[in-house]
Structure 1
């Protein structure tokens, strides 16, 4: 299956707004400004499908992107931005809990971590939650191009240690700028589909 179409379905803030069908969903979670939108645009080879922002904490909705009318990538609102108000943080928490705890379409959650920084306490909490609820604990390390090649492994090792990842857990470095890791990301996504009983896979992104 080649990816021929990719479009946003809805930006939701409550369960009643979620798409009502049985398409499988893979969600991306991470801190504000970690690069979720850039990763989505990289995967589908589109520059502006997912809106990127220079203002951390701006995205406060759950964005559903329909791929080939067969599955969805879900961009979860970023966490960890200090200037967001207490009420906004509480609303964010309820929104995330409603989706992550009850969404039957959700087959896996990929956590994004910036290679330049050690995981925060919130990153650690998110990773523990992902593992606790039976997801694979797949971590995509973003902004790979921001670190010199000789320093990359040191930063990856720090992330593994701080998140207490095991040898079986998947850690994939990716750069939206250089496009490194794109093919490997799709291989992992395809494997998630396969183990969950879906007989389709993405062979390449739209040109």
Structure 2
């Protein structure tokens, strides 16, 4: 069975204190508002509406947990950046994201969503600089790859890999298109490597 398929919604959390006790390994998805995070999650799980998709930045206002049949939890974090919401709300989102990424022991790795047309913004770099000292792996998805020509997206991929080369042992990068379902298997391979020996199937057997 594909790693992410048949995930089901578990709960939504508005504040760090609302986080439930972890019941399995967790993979977090984070990215700037409107970078294509919800579309990427939907493509990975094979469901068109599991994660909410909107053209309005900042619509993912809660931390949402989903569980796969194998016991892997996918954590959709609020988008950060230039969402059209009050400053107090943005601060609340930032606190929720930071507390989760810093304190959650069940977190195995981070999938960082970036629009291939606007990768490595100042906010993206800030998040990476803050998270990488944790030592946990980061996989960058350059989403909306279908929006660029083959040559342009290949050049962007190479550019981002060069920029992140100092962390090559911890950070990996790939192209992704939710529209064309491009890159799903590559994500599963990367995350599967993170989970070797720790992901439990429903019967409790280690993979």
What TM-score, normalized by structure 2, do the two folds share?
0.87
Equivalent pair of 2:33/2:83 in contact (CA under 8 Å): no
1:198 aligns with 2:198: yes
Question: What does residue range 128-143 of structure 1 map to in structure 2 within 5 Å?
Answer: 128-143=129-144
Task: Assess, with a 3 A threshold, how the Cα gap between structure 1 residues 199 and 53 changes in structure 2: closer, same or farther.
Answer: closer
SS of residue matched to 2:85: coil
Structure 1: unaligned runs, 5 residues or longer: 202-207
SS of residue matched to 1:108: strand
Task: Assess, with a 3 A threshold, how the Cα gap between structure 1 residues 145 and 136 changes in structure 2: closer, same or farther.
Answer: same
Once residues 168 and 96 of structure 2 are traced to their aligned partners in structure 1, the CA distance between those partners, rounded to angstroms, is 32
Structure 2: unaligned runs, 5 residues or longer: 202-207
Cα deviation digits, residues 151-207 of structure 1 (max 9, x gap)? 11221233334556544431111100111111111111111101xx31558xxxxxx
Shift of 1:130: 2.2
Equivalent pair of 2:176/2:182 in contact (CA under 8 Å): yes
SS of residue matched to 1:63: strand
| Structure 1 residue aligned with 2:8 | 7
Cα deviation digits, residues 86-140 of structure 1 (max 9, x gap)? 2112111211122111111111111111101132111001111221111223211
Once residues 62 and 152 of structure 2 are traced to their aligned partners in structure 1, the CA distance between those partners, rounded to angstroms, is 35
1:172 aligns with 2:167: no
Equivalent pair of 2:30/2:78 in contact (CA under 8 Å): yes
Task: Assess, with a 3 A threshold, how the Cα gap between structure 1 residues 109 and 91 changes in structure 2: closer, same or farther.
Answer: same
Equivalent pair of 2:77/2:97 in contact (CA under 8 Å): yes
72-81 or 129-138: bigger deviation: 129-138
SS of residue matched to 2:88: helix
| Structure 2 residue aligned with 1:204 | none
Count of residues in correspondence between the two structures: 199
181-190 or 133-142: bigger deviation: 133-142
14-23 or 120-129: bigger deviation: 14-23
| Structure 2 residue aligned with 1:23 | 24
Once residues 72 and 89 of structure 1 are traced to their aligned partners in structure 2, the CA distance between those partners, rounded to angstroms, is 25
Once residues 9 and 36 of structure 1 are traced to their aligned partners in structure 2, the CA distance between those partners, rounded to angstroms, is 18
| Structure 1 residue aligned with 2:77 | 76
Task: Assess, with a 3 A threshold, how the Cα gap between structure 1 residues 127 and 21 changes in structure 2: closer, same or farther.
Answer: closer
Equivalent pair of 1:5/1:69 in contact (CA under 8 Å): no
126-135 or 160-169: bigger deviation: 160-169
